Amino acid sequence: MENKIKKVDLIFEKVDHLAILDKSFKRTSDEIILDVIDSGLRGRGGAGFPTGLKWKFAKNEEADQKYVICNADEGEPGTFKDREILTQVPEKVLAGMALCGKAIGATEGYIYLRAEYNFLLPMLHEKMKEFNKQMKEHNFEFTVFVRSGSGAYVCGEETALMESMEGHRGEPRNKPPFPTQHGYLGKPTSINNVETLVFALMIANLGPQMFKDLGTFDSRGSKVFSISGDTPKAGIYELELGMSLLDFVNEFGDGDTKAVQVGGASGFCVARKHFKETLIGFEGIPTGGSMMLFNSSRSMYNILHDYLEFFEEESCGQCTPCRVGCQQLLKGIESVKKGVKPPPYLETLQKLSDTMKIASKCGLGQSVGNPFNSIINNFREEIIY
Amino acid sequence: MSKYKVNLKINNIAVSVDEGTTILEAARKLNFNVPTLCNHDDLCVAGNCRVCVVEQKGARLLPASCATPVSEGMEIMTNSMKVRQARKHIVELLLAEHNADCTKCFKNGHCELQEISNEYRIGDHVFIDLVKEKDKVQDISSPSIAKDDSKCIRCQRCVRTCAQLQHVSALAVTHKGNEMRISTFLDKPMNDVVCTNCGQCINRCPTAALTERTYIDQVFDVIYDPNKFVVVQTAPATRVAIGEEFGLEPGTRVTGKMVAALRRLGFDKVLDTDFTADLTIIEEGNELLRRLKEALVDGKDVALPMMTSCSPGWIKFQEHLYPEFLDNLSTCKSPQQMFGPLAKTYYAEKVNKNPADMIVVSIMPCTAKKFEADRPEMRGSGYKDVDFVLTTRELGMMIRQAGIDFNKLDNEGYDSILGESTGAAVIFGTTGGVMEAALRSAYEIVTGREVPFSNLNIKPVRGMEGVKEAAIKIKDVLPEWKFLEGVELRVAIAHGLANAKILMDRVKDGTANFHFIEIMACPSGCIGGGGQPIPTNMEIRKKRAAGIYDEDEHMTLRKSHDNPEVTEIYKSFLHEPLGHRSHDLLHTHYYPRKRH
């Protein structure tokens, strides 16, 4: 079989991060930002907001202080690539933050590290000290700090993350105002995923063209995937965006792949019959990197049940659609399974998940409908019987 | 700063509003109502109940109209298909986690969730009932506030009230997801935490999750008991608010109707807390003058500024948060607690009743008064000085239950004695009132002249500003007050405990230099008390305050020391302010409490 999957090595490639910063700090903010905009880089945490635009918005705000935050609260089930990036190339992450700082006019950067990654703290503190020293030596006005989360999934949501950093309960804020206007401590803040910052650094290093040459029109470049489930090749891979799910499964599946959950628990479930026409990228199904493969031995009811249990517990509980909706979806499929509610009750629940999608306060509640509807649409009989 | 105008369309009608206006405000300007639950005029925006979602043309999400500012060219639909479906879903979800035993509920007919549910005719249980059995157990540990988690819709109005308005944070959000709830420090019972019993949370709770502990049945029981002699006292702020329970405008003065209703309810005597408010002024005014003399003449280390002690929520706040300033609190009991022991001693003797058979009931704008009456030190008469405390709302309920048509009652007057009062007592009901009453008397005691303000209205201490400051120069004093000649008496007033904290922090770090401070626990003072009719907001409280000042202006007597009953009680019973009897019956002491 022809291998249509293209492996790329931008993220983990060792580079002289200080040389890149030396070069970049001689340029203007606008030049740095224009390159990032030109490259087409979109946020690698999953939501896919154009990174250059975010930096431009933050840059255009007038403020006495601005902040860079590196979102390392990698909490999406099935995603583990940021851990690896932080372990392998921490100095590239730090340099990416400094680059962002230079671009938007921030002199302080914070890594928000998920509580479960606290084992990385001693190493990160070492790297941070060394990096801050290097910044001083090179006369770059930028200091990095590391903050540890407390274990809530919702704190990966950018505004909940900032609330958490400020010492408050991790609850998402109302938007607008957006973090680029009113972020950490009320100051303009650019908050970017670990991987995004490293890509930005590589774009500063190699120019936007090499990035544009990869991927598709809407999904430029490559992406680090966390591949897990029923696969003989579980692990972390940097792949060009825009591949079809069929090609992906041919490369990574175990020959018996029934479905792939693209984008983690909050992503979409794609059944075998749709592999061919499903493209991995913003034109098709975007992902923060998580690809979970399921073979025919798996019960889709159990999978959905697990996801809903996760959301029921990890909702911050603040807004009604998410707090109560998650409980209803979970109890609802249990009732249908037990025969307490009739099968058409699933349609009632799907309508509810549509409301959650548009009326919830943050991305958590808004995305519960993704796995719910895609699993039920594809595997309705497995949920009922 | 001049504001930009923003043009938008709501339900296809063009409107131009100030920049920063929310979609909700803009819609209401066009007379489109959008239902809300977590939103409250007095509180910061939360945007968490999502009942107020609307559709924005071109947007994927339905924005919460209470939390989203308008933007140029926006097109909003407040009642589209999508909105209707989402809103119904949200109300259904809230009902699924709400113990909807409406007909048996204390707030039946006064519940905002019930109102919306009724409006949308939410029928059969669409979703699965999620109410936990353990949540159905009410926390009634506090004598003031009952907490019922099974009724809670997690709108966090109480949390914001407790933090933002009161700076107490006895109530906070705990846990997450399906376990998320409003709770206390370590889930302790309400009587065991920093709660000041102010009841502001009750005033803003849309459902019956937070209500006052009610004692209506106990009060009816003693009324019907032929062996009990039941007297009732009414606080100043009740008379401008009880009308709201019967559909009257906030601030409508209904003192005479209230007295008539109380008599019809069967109370043996209808008396007035305003009498002891006047008495408080004499005791507290003399206490202030004594402290000033001790400080200025005797060179003693006296606790100044002196702080008022009428508000039991404020007292408990001070005991928890500023225990090092307990000596600064006036030792005077509150008017309610001065009334109790006097009723069971002086009054009992006058009317020839055995105090053991006497029951004192008070009608208060306040829930903390329930706690205050229960304090162990409030037994100066040898009995529990005040037996039952009812809120303004509970009185409304009693009147309705008894079938009394309140609005048609003719005015009646208070019984004598302990029924006479002055305008100075009435203004205790609003922020700045105690200060104004004290100044009217103290200034005159010291100088022999009335306060130098037109018509006795001391405007600088009035109004709704959070912290007010004023100063009065004392000149041409009477010979015995020589030491006060030329002294500028500096006073400050705070209402709402968040403002109290601002003022107390200044006192603590030495940047405030006052002689006398008035603090009321509730926003706007007692008229905004935790026992007052619901709803509340600044506009309503301003109307009630206007009612209070109107009542004052209509009184024949307007200075506490002119109250003939007060003169009489000193002549025949108390003998002198701050004397032995006063010390036994009218003064108290305070205890430090833990911070949590």
CATH of residue A27's domain is 3.40.50.11540
Interface contact flag, B179 A360, Cβ < 8 Å: no
For residue B137, the SS3 value is coil
Contacting residues for B138 by C-beta, under 8 A, at least 6 apart: B146, B147, B148
Q: Give me the percent of chain A exceeding a pLDDT of 70.
A: 99
The kind and range of the H/E element at B492 are strand B488-495
Chain A hits for B207, Cβ within 8 Å: none
What's the token pair of residue A299? 């019960």
What pLDDT was estimated at residue B174?
96
Whether A365 and A356 have beta carbons less than 8 Å apart is answered as yes
Bridge partners, residue A355, by sequence: none
The verdict on A39 and A119 lying in the same domain is: yes
Tell me if A4 is assigned to some domain: no
In this prediction, residue A3 carries a pLDDT of 63
Question: Which residue of chain B is at minimal alpha-carbon distance from A363?
Answer: B61
- Walk me through the domains of chain B, giving residue ranges and CATH numbers: 5-79 (3.10.20.740), 94-212 (3.30.70.20), 214-596 (3.40.50.1780)
A180 and A56, same domain (yes or no)? yes
Residue B149 sits at the chain A interface (C-beta within 8 Å) = no
Which residues in B lie closer than 8 A to residue A359 (C-beta atoms)? Answer: 50, 53, 61-62, 86, 89-90
**Is A109 in contact with A67 (CB distance < 8 Å)?**
yes
Q: Which phi and psi (to 5°) does residue A305 adopt?
A: -60, -45
Residues A268, A236: contact at Cβ < 8 Å? Answer: no
ipTM: 0.95
For chain B, say whether A182 makes contact (Cβ under 8 Å). Answer: no
**A8 in a structural domain:** no
Q: Three-class SS of residue A88?
A: helix
| pLDDT (tens digit per residue) in A265-291 | 999 999 999 999 999 999 999 999 999
Residues A103 and A200 in one domain: yes
B180, B230 in Cβ contact below 8 A?
no
Which residues are CB-contacts of B134 (< 8 A; sequence separation ≥ 6)?
none
Cβ-based contacts of B154 with chain A (< 8 Å): 317-318, 320, 323
Question: Residue A380 domain-assigned?
Answer: no
3-state class (DSSP) for residue A16: coil
Same domain for A168 and A133: yes
Residue from the list A152, A328, A358 with its beta carbon closest to the beta carbon of B176: A152
Q: Is the pLDDT of residue B573 over 90?
A: yes
pLDDT of A342 > 80? The answer is yes
Matching residue, tokens 């607008």: A176
CA distance to A271, A372, B108, per residue, from A357 (Å): 22, 11, 33
Using the beta-carbon criterion (under 8 Å), do A359 and B69 form an inter-chain contact?
no
Q: How confident is the model at residue B425 (pLDDT cuts 50, 70, 90)?
A: very high
pLDDT tens-digit readout, B102-161: 999 999 999 999 999 999 988 767 899 999 999 999 999 999 999 999 999 999 999 999
**Residue A60: in which H helix or E strand, if any?**
helix A51-60
The domain that holds A290 is classified in CATH as 3.10.20.600
Q: How far apart are CA B246 and CA A261, in angstroms?
A: 60
Show the domain range for A142.
Answer: 17-212
Q: Pick from B61, B128, B173: which is nearest to A358 by CB?
A: B61
Predicted confidence (pLDDT) at residue A207 exceeds the cutoff of 60: yes
Measured in angstroms, the CA of B44 and the nearest CA of chain A are apart by: 12
CA distances from B361 to A100, B189, B415, B527 (A): 68, 27, 15, 20
Minimal C-alpha gap between B101 and chain A (Å): 19
Q: Are residues A179 and A284 in the same domain?
A: no
Query: Quick one: A119 and A37 in the same domain?
Result: yes
pLDDT at residue B3 in the model: 75
When pLDDT is cut at 50, 70 and 90, the band that residue A355 belongs to is very high
In a domain, A5, yes or no: no
pLDDT tens by residue, A116-171: 999 999 999 999 999 999 999 999 999 999 999 999 999 999 999 999 999 999 99
* Catalytic status, residue B330: yes
Looking at chain B, the whole-number percentage of residues with pLDDT higher than 90 is: 97
Domain contains A60: yes
pLDDT at position A252 is 97
pLDDT at A255 over 70: yes
Instruction: Give yes or no: B369 in active site.
Output: yes
A56 in any annotated domain: yes
Q: State the alpha helices, DSSP H only, in B225-306.
A: 255-265, 273-296
pLDDT at A1: 47
Q: Encode A325-343: b = buried (16+ Cβ within 10 Å), e = exposed.
A: bbbbbbbbbebbeeeebee
Say yes or no: A33 and A129 in one domain: yes
In a domain, A385, yes or no: no
Asked if the C-beta of A313 comes within 8 angstroms of chain B's C-beta atoms, the answer is yes
* B93 Cβ under 8 Å from any chain A Cβ: yes
Cα separation of B508 and B491, whole Å?
A: 16
By Cβ distance, the residue of B48, B86, B96 closest to A355 is B86
Q: Give per-residue burial for A205-240: e unless 16+ CB within 10 Å, then b.
A: beebeebbebbbebbbbbbbbbbbbbbeeeebbbbb
| Domain end residue (candidates: A186, A212, A238) | A212
Any CB–CB contact under 8 A between A351 and chain B? yes
- Of the listed ranges A227-231, B122-126, B138-142, B472-476, the one predicted with least confidence: B122-126
Distances (CA, A) of A301 to A251, A373, B237: 26, 12, 61
Interface residue A317 vs chain B (CB under 8 A)? yes
**For the domain that residue A337 is a member of, what is the CATH number?**
1.20.1440.230
Please indicate, yes or no, whether residues A148 and A258 belong to a single structural domain of this protein.
no
Question: pLDDT tens digits for A10-59?
Answer: 999 999 999 999 999 999 999 999 999 999 999 999 889 999 999 999 99
- Rounded mean pLDDT of B315-326? 97
Whether A243 is covered by a domain: the verdict is yes
Distance in angstroms (rounded) separating the CA atoms of residues A209 and A207: 6
Number of domains observed in the structure of chain A: 3
- The confidence score (pLDDT) of residue A4 equals 78
Domain end, chosen from A212, A233, A248, is at: A212
The string of DSSP codes covering B83-112 is HHHHHHHHHHHHHHTS---GGG-TTTTS-H
Q: Does B154 touch chain A (CB under 8 A)?
A: yes
Q: What is the pLDDT of residue A2?
A: 54
Residues A99 and A233 in one domain: no
- Within this chain, do residues A314 and A276 fall inside the same structural domain, yes or no? no
Confidence check: pLDDT of B307 > 70: yes
DSSP characters over B542-573? HHHHHHHHHHHHT-S--SGGG-HHHHHHIIII
* Range in A144-153, B63-72, B124-133, B327-336 the model is least confident about: B124-133
Nearest CA in chain A to B63: A359
* Candidate from A152, A321, A324 with C-beta closest to B97: A324
Q: What is the pLDDT of residue B2?
A: 58
Determine contact: A315 vs chain B, CB below 8 A.
yes
Q: Is B230 helix (H, G, I), strand (E, B) or coil?
A: strand
Instruction: List pLDDT tens digits, range B357-403.
Output: 999 999 999 999 999 999 999 999 999 999 999 999 999 999 999 99
Which candidate in A49, A182, A355, A356 is best for mutational testing of the B interface (most B CBs within 10 A)? A355
Whether B594 sits among the annotated catalytic residues: the reply is: no
Last residue of a domain, one of A212, A236, A270: A212
**Catalytic-labelled residue, pool B269, B369, B468, B542:** B369
Instruction: List % helix, strand, coil for chain A (3-state, nearest 5).
Output: 50, 15, 35
Residues A347, A259, single domain; the answer is no
Q: Give residue-wise pLDDT tens across range A209-226.
A: 999 999 999 999 999 999
Å between A81 CA and nearest CA of chain B? 26
Place of tokens 């999904």: A219
Residue in chain B lying closest to A358 (CA): B61
- A176 and A64 within one domain: yes
